[in-house]
Amino acid sequence: MRIGLAGAGRIGARHAETLRTLPGVDALVLADADPERARALGALLSARSGVAGAASGTTGAAAGAAGRGEGSPDTPRDASRRGGVAGGASTGGVGTAAGRARGAAGAEGAGGVARAAGRPVGAAGGAEIVVEEAVDALFAPGAGLDGLVVAAATDAHADLVVRAVRAGMPVFCEKPLAGDLSGTVQVLAAIGDAPVQVGFQRRFDAGHRAVREAVASGRLGWIHTLRSCTFDPAPPPREYVPGSGGLFRDCGVHDYDAIRYVTGREVLQVMAVGANRGDAYFGEFGDVDTATALLVLDDGTVATASASRYNAAGYDVRLEVFGSKDGVVAGLDEHTPLTPVGAPGPAAPYSGFLERFADAYDAELAAFVELAAGRRDNPCPPAQALEAFLVAEACDLSRRRGGPVTIAEVRERAGIR
């Protein structure tokens, strides 16, 4: 298969490391709004494959922030560890070849040049690496792509997804599909039932999957409480905030999707509050740096989802589910940045989302390759992403209004039937 990748920033570089080693991917075609960044990433991947094609010069990763996606700035430790626990039992382990190979894909570096380098030998020696000078080249006649991965800046997502679908390509798109709710609705109308997978990677986290299985099996009894959290170790830069969509859409939306995923239930109503306790620039843009949302599910179950930009102890994502018989938790292990009173804290807490969800990122792209090949159903179609986005919209409206908001109201306001 010949897979295109639009976006060579931080998450794009991470995805490229995975794609180049996945079975069935013979060629990886890179493009970015900044051609130099694409060339730098291509040179790095070619060098790691041990093949000809990289021009002389210093080679480095292409890591400019193409959008924060989920979490905080990554560090070299993002290449070395895994995460995911359910019910206190580790679900980690050996990791995929792509996870072991990615090295310093999140570190900035100077660029070399890569041209149609490599051998089309799939996972055994790495896919052929091709660098295009413009993103438009991915849609040119004769590009011959079997699928497209969209990891560009958020404001480019909608256009790239629609263009790919119209070109007949299956698409994987990092969340969100569009920068706002109206744009998301327009994308869904444009793409219909086309094979578009949205990147909610917690659906592929071993811990979250184990929690989902525990809920579905009935061994927890009836569920009465869920608690989810996403705490970033450091805030994003000021310039990131205006285009982020705000804390609920940028960060909390992952928790809302995870709650829907593990329970199989829909959210009916929310009540959200937020505060600014750190840098003033969040408030200047109408955002908050800390928030908690109370979600009422369609079976009466109550869930809370908390998010913060300031958790210097480390990157903390957990999901606790309590039932009438038992309770389980995903994300509690030796790297969780949480210190028991009277006991030592973790020696090496998670530093960011690329580290915490390393295996999940590998797994979701492997699923996309299978989807593009027609060998599996879509694990996260756009309609699922829309439901999580509706919850995020309701939370933001609730926080501003100072009262509860139903999902039905948000759906009606957006003209969604």
Does 121 lie in the same domain as 35? yes
Q: Check whether residue 208 and residue 197 sit in a common domain.
A: no
Q: How many CB atoms lie within 10 A of CB 231?
A: 23
User: By three-state DSSP, how is residue 291 classified?
Assistant: strand
pLDDT tens figures, 348-367:
999 999 999 999 999 999 99
Residue 275 shares a structural domain with residue 229 = yes
Please check whether residues 197 and 208 belong to one and the same domain. Answer: no
pTM of the model: 0.84
Is the pLDDT score of 85 beyond 80? Answer: no
Residue 360 neighbours by CB under 8 Å, 6+ apart: 84, 201, 202, 203, 204, 205, 206
- The verdict on residue 100 lying in a domain is no
Q: Same domain for 170 and 301?
A: no
Q: Indicate if 133 and 209 belong to the same structural domain.
A: no
101 found inside a domain: no
Say which DSSP state 138 is in: G
Of 44, 45, 99, 36, which is closest to residue 64 (Cα–Cα)?
36
173 and 238 within one domain: no
Cα 165 to Cα 39: distance, rounded to the nearest angstrom: 26
- CATH number of the domain to which 252 belongs: 3.30.360.10
Assess whether 233 and 260 both reside in one domain.
yes
Residue 288 included in any domain: yes
pLDDT at residue number 70:
60
- Has residue 19 been placed in a domain? yes
CATH at 7: 3.40.50.720
Q: What is the rounded average pLDDT for all residues in the chain? A: 85
Inform me whether the pLDDT recorded for 233 exceeds 60: yes
Percent of the chain with pLDDT over 90: 80
Report whether pLDDT(292) > 90. Answer: yes
210/87 Cα distance (integer angstroms) = 8
In a domain, 85, yes or no: no
Residue-wise pLDDT for 254-263, tens only, equals: 999 999 999 9
Looking at the 3D structure of the chain, how many domains does it have?
2
Evaluate if residue 96 carries a pLDDT over 70: no
Q: Answer with the residue of higher pLDDT: 403 or 106.
A: 403
- Per the structure, the complete domain to which residue 398 belongs is given by 202-363+380-413
405 and 388 assigned to the same domain: yes
64 within some domain: yes
Q: Which residue has the tokens 């970033």?
A: 232
Is the pLDDT assigned to residue 333 strictly greater than 80? yes
Q: Count Cβ neighbours within 10 Å for each residue of 75-111 and write b for 16 or more, e otherwise.
A: bebbbebbbbbbbeeebbeeebbbbebbebbbbebeb
Same domain, 174 and 150: yes
User: Do 134 and 248 lie in a common domain?
Assistant: no
Judgement on whether residues 63 and 189 belong to the same structural domain of the protein: yes
Residues 15 and 12: their CA atoms lie apart, in Å, by 5
